[in-house]
Chains A and B, each alone.
Chain A
Amino acid sequence: MVDQLTPVLTKRWLSPRSWTLKTYEQLEGYTALRKALKAHPDQLIQQCKDSGLRGRGGAGFPTGLKWGFIPQNDGKPHYLVINADEGEPGTCKDIPLMMADPHSLIEGIIITSYAIRANFAAIYVRGEVLHCIRRLNNAVREAYAAGYLGKDILGSGFDLDVVVHAGAGAYICGEETALLDSLEGKRGQPRLKPPFPATAGLYASPTVVNNVETIASVPYIVNGGADWFRAMGRERSPGPKIYSLSGHVERPGQYEAPMGTTLRTLLDMAGGMKDGIPLKFWTPGGSSTPLFTAEHLDVPLDFEGAAEAGSMLGTTALQIFNETVSVPWAVMKWTEFYKHESCGKCTPCREGTYWLVQILQRMNRHEGTPADIETLLDICDNILGRSFCALGDGAVSPITSGIKYFKDEFLALCDRNSKVLAGASA
């Protein structure tokens, strides 16, 4: 039996000055790199495939497969771009990882770049996290000084430059093709796919875009092997995962556990619901993943488990709300977010989110009618699957799932005389 918590990515976080090269090297840091540089790049790609590692940025795409899509001997430069834009509401795992243990990401970047034959990598970090950017910059400087970056890394003949790139406040830049446009110095708007980044990514060259947690997992897979990684989690969703618990729980925070852990188990470790007030609704993986309720406490939180129960694993950002919070209010707040962050490129999302906000605000002022609920669902139907990128799909998740589980609360808002929760009580 594997333990309930399996600190791998988080295991150094308690060490003093964990962000320094010195601490990192004392705790096995850069041992995986030395090992990897002696292997053939294709062996690393195969090992990543064997491990079953799936992207931690939300969609769960198999990482080794993605690396394998990069054409070889095509004469073009290859790039690795790290998605550190962490902006999905509820998601708060990558930023603490990069603050506490930036070298684990950098070691993963070097190994991955070697595997996909890239000589330039960029870490695209959202701009609002200065301390994180500061620590990353320092880690990159330390890695250059120690010969882990730059020319002829550790005498292997492999060269790599890494740049830390601060974004400027736009959630849509987390979408991988918008991120690439933004990194090219443009407005961050999604590109038409295909072509996929693997063939035409950064500067129209083959590019891998991976999440921070995904790439930080790589050195452990190199050191432990695919079977070790698979000893945690479930068959199709292996490995450890950082679950972020926030909201009305006694001890919110970051809990790294095997994939497939349930909210019941996590809540137990987090001391249960705050002040014992019962759970009402929660997001399994950020606000773009359909809401769950107390009925879903035993859903295994991995890619398959969350999907079978009607939601998505997303970023394992568990935002937990108790009975004092109004669902239509929470849904309105999230919808205001999507409206603000819609990049405006396509009509369903740009116009749709605008009208959704108008209706939800009116309903929350107790000026709605039952027909509004139908209108909301109708607009959602026109956004879902008809938008240019997944932001549009995400925007309708809170609304459709909110109405699915809590329709009475929306109906109650249409009756001026009914007593309903207005907004949230702090």
Chain B
Amino acid sequence: MTQTQEPTGVFDQDTVARAQAIIARYPQPRSALLPMLHLVQSVEGYVSQAGIAFCAGQLDLAHAEVSAVATFYTMYKRRPCGEHLVSICTNTLCAALGGDAIYAAVREHLGSDGKPLGHEETAGEPGAPGSITLEHAECLAACDLGPVLQVNYEFFDNQTPEKALELVKALQAGEKPHPTRGAPLTDFRQAELQLAGFFEGRDADLDGPSAAPETVRGAAVAADRGWTAPTMPENAEFPALPEKK
């Protein structure tokens, strides 16, 4: 193995140590590539050429092999992201409930010179406080709470254009409104570090709410009406060992 253990450019010793920790999680090193690309985004806010070189060096892969992977997945950004990434679901169900209108309103608000902001474009200087990268997203597995949007992959449920605008304006002003489901907001890079599997010192985040009324509706109706699954037998036995053929 010709892995680079040395820090390179923006990727310091801590990042190298983290990259090595990711590799150690898997039976084969290359499995570390997706998390490592998240790690790279936590440092630079996108996957730069230097980031590709970093992963290639850590995993002993060709740059082209890493590039091919990085460009396949929508969560790897090819241009520097804002402090926050705002993703608005415009898949059919959310769109029918108002998601298209929410996306249009936010694009309008974040645009400049009468031009609405485009998909994966950034309002403000990327990385600067209050800067926002906007994208429309596919179904975010929260249709019962639609229309939904996310900030740095934390959920804001049951949105309207008004609520979404208020949220985006607050983010621009440096505030961090609490998501409906998820942990208190930090920024895009910190979220990417967590996606790479590093949660150091963030235990309190676990307490962020997850169960919306929608989530527990069936359970609540059942509790209300006294409905349950059939009672389990006292001591269910295993079947006999199947005969060897």
**Contact pattern, A 57-76, Cβ under 8 Å of B = 1, otherwise 0:** 00000000000000000000
Given that A165-B34, A253-B213 are contacting pairs, would A138 and B219 also be in contact in the complex, using a CB cutoff of 8 Å? no
| Residue A256 is within 8 A (CB to CB) of chain B in the complex | yes
Give chain A nearest CB distance to B68 CB in angstroms.
6
Are the C-beta atoms of B75 and A232 separated by less than 8 Å?
no
Among the stretches B109-117, B123-131, B152-160, the one at the interface with A is: B152-160
Are the C-beta atoms of B141 and A168 separated by less than 8 Å?
no
Are the C-beta atoms of A95 and B142 separated by less than 8 Å?
yes
In the bound complex, how far is the Cα of B57 from the Cα of A355, in angstroms? 41
Given that A188-B72, A330-B96 are contacting pairs, would A252 and B26 also be in contact in the complex, using a CB cutoff of 8 Å? no
Are the C-beta atoms of B142 and A92 separated by less than 8 Å?
yes
Give chain A nearest CB distance to B234 CB in angstroms.
10
**Contact pattern, B 42-73, Cβ under 8 Å of A = 1, otherwise 0:** 00000000000000000100000000110011
Given that A185-B34, A246-B144 are contacting pairs, would A11 and B229 also be in contact in the complex, using a CB cutoff of 8 Å? yes
Are the C-beta atoms of B95 and A333 separated by less than 8 Å?
yes
Are the C-beta atoms of A42 and B68 separated by less than 8 Å?
no
| Residue B8 is within 8 A (CB to CB) of chain A in the complex | no
Number of residues on chain A facing chain B (CB within 8 A): 106
Are the C-beta atoms of B34 and A167 separated by less than 8 Å?
yes
In the bound complex, how far is the Cα of B91 from the Cα of A95, in angstroms? 18
**Contact pattern, B 123-147, Cβ under 8 Å of A = 1, otherwise 0:** 0000000000000011111111110
In the bound complex, how far is the Cα of B100 from the Cα of A99, in angstroms? 28
Q: Which of A13, A129, A270 contacts B141 (CB 8 A)?
A: A129
Are the C-beta atoms of B96 and A252 separated by less than 8 Å?
no
**A85-126 with Cβ < 8 A to chain B:** 86-92, 94-96, 99-100, 120, 126
Are the C-beta atoms of B33 and A225 separated by less than 8 Å?
no
**B66-87 with Cβ < 8 A to chain A:** 68-69, 72-76, 87
| Residue A304 is within 8 A (CB to CB) of chain B in the complex | no
| Residue A254 is within 8 A (CB to CB) of chain B in the complex | yes
Q: Which of A17, A186, A223 contacts B69 (CB 8 A)?
A: A186
Are the C-beta atoms of A19 and B144 separated by less than 8 Å?
no
In the bound complex, how far is the Cα of B153 from the Cα of A341, in angstroms? 19
Q: Which of B68, B76, B211, B229 contacts A240 (CB 8 A)?
A: B229
| Residue B218 is within 8 A (CB to CB) of chain A in the complex | yes
Q: Which of B68, B73, B92, B218 contacts A333 (CB 8 A)?
A: B92
Are the C-beta atoms of A134 and B183 separated by less than 8 Å?
yes
In the bound complex, how far is the Cα of B217 from the Cα of A39, in angstroms? 37
Are the C-beta atoms of B229 and A246 separated by less than 8 Å?
no
Are the C-beta atoms of B144 and A245 separated by less than 8 Å?
yes
Are the C-beta atoms of B139 and A88 separated by less than 8 Å?
yes
| Residue B216 is within 8 A (CB to CB) of chain A in the complex | yes
Are the C-beta atoms of B242 and A42 separated by less than 8 Å?
yes
| Residue A224 is within 8 A (CB to CB) of chain B in the complex | yes
| Residue B201 is within 8 A (CB to CB) of chain A in the complex | no
Among the stretches A1-9, A382-390, A408-416, the one at the interface with B is: A1-9
Give chain B nearest CB distance to A58 CB in angstroms.
14
Are the C-beta atoms of A253 and B215 separated by less than 8 Å?
yes
| Residue A294 is within 8 A (CB to CB) of chain B in the complex | no
Q: Which of A120, A243, A247 contacts B96 (CB 8 A)?
A: A247
| Residue A200 is within 8 A (CB to CB) of chain B in the complex | no
Among the stretches A145-153, A317-325, A358-366, the one at the interface with B is: A317-325
| Residue A251 is within 8 A (CB to CB) of chain B in the complex | yes
Given the complex, which residues of B lie within 8 Å of A330, measured CB to CB? Answer: 92, 96
Q: Which of B206, B214, B219 contacts A10 (CB 8 A)?
A: B219
Given the complex, which residues of B lie within 8 Å of A224, measured CB to CB? Answer: 232-233, 236
Most buried by A among B69, B181, B215: B215
Q: Which of A7, A46, A129, A243 contacts B229 (CB 8 A)?
A: A7
**A211-247 with Cβ < 8 A to chain B:** 220, 222-228, 231-232, 240, 242-247
| Residue A351 is within 8 A (CB to CB) of chain B in the complex | no
Are the C-beta atoms of A247 and B143 separated by less than 8 Å?
yes
In the bound complex, how far is the Cα of B238 from the Cα of A99, in angstroms? 31
Given the complex, which residues of A lie within 8 Å of B239, measured CB to CB? Answer: 43, 46-47, 50, 226
Given the complex, which residues of A lie within 8 Å of B232, measured CB to CB? Answer: 220, 223-225, 228
Given that A43-B239, A246-B93, A269-B221 are contacting pairs, would A99 and B210 also be in contact in the complex, using a CB cutoff of 8 Å? yes
Given the complex, which residues of B lie within 8 Å of A169, measured CB to CB? Answer: 73-76
Most buried by A among B73, B197, B237: B73
| Residue B205 is within 8 A (CB to CB) of chain A in the complex | yes
Residue of chain B at shortest CB distance from A230:
B230
Q: Which of B35, B152, B217, B241 contacts A43 (CB 8 A)?
A: B241
Are the C-beta atoms of B218 and A255 separated by less than 8 Å?
yes
**Contact pattern, B 168-201, Cβ under 8 Å of A = 1, otherwise 0:** 0000000000000111000000010011110100
- 28 CB contacts below 8 A, A to B, read A6-B227, A7-B229, A11-B219, A14-B211, A14-B220, A17-B207, A47-B238, A88-B139, A90-B143, A95-B142, A96-B210, A100-B215, A130-B153, A133-B195, A134-B183, A165-B35, A169-B73, A184-B30, A184-B31, A185-B32, A203-B28, A228-B230, A244-B144, A248-B97, A254-B218, A255-B217, A255-B218, A424-B95
Contacts A169-B74, A185-B69, A240-B229 given; 15 further ones with Cβ under 8 A? A3-B228, A5-B222, A128-B150, A132-B210, A133-B194, A169-B75, A182-B34, A203-B28, A228-B236, A248-B97, A321-B96, A330-B92, A333-B91, A337-B139, A424-B100
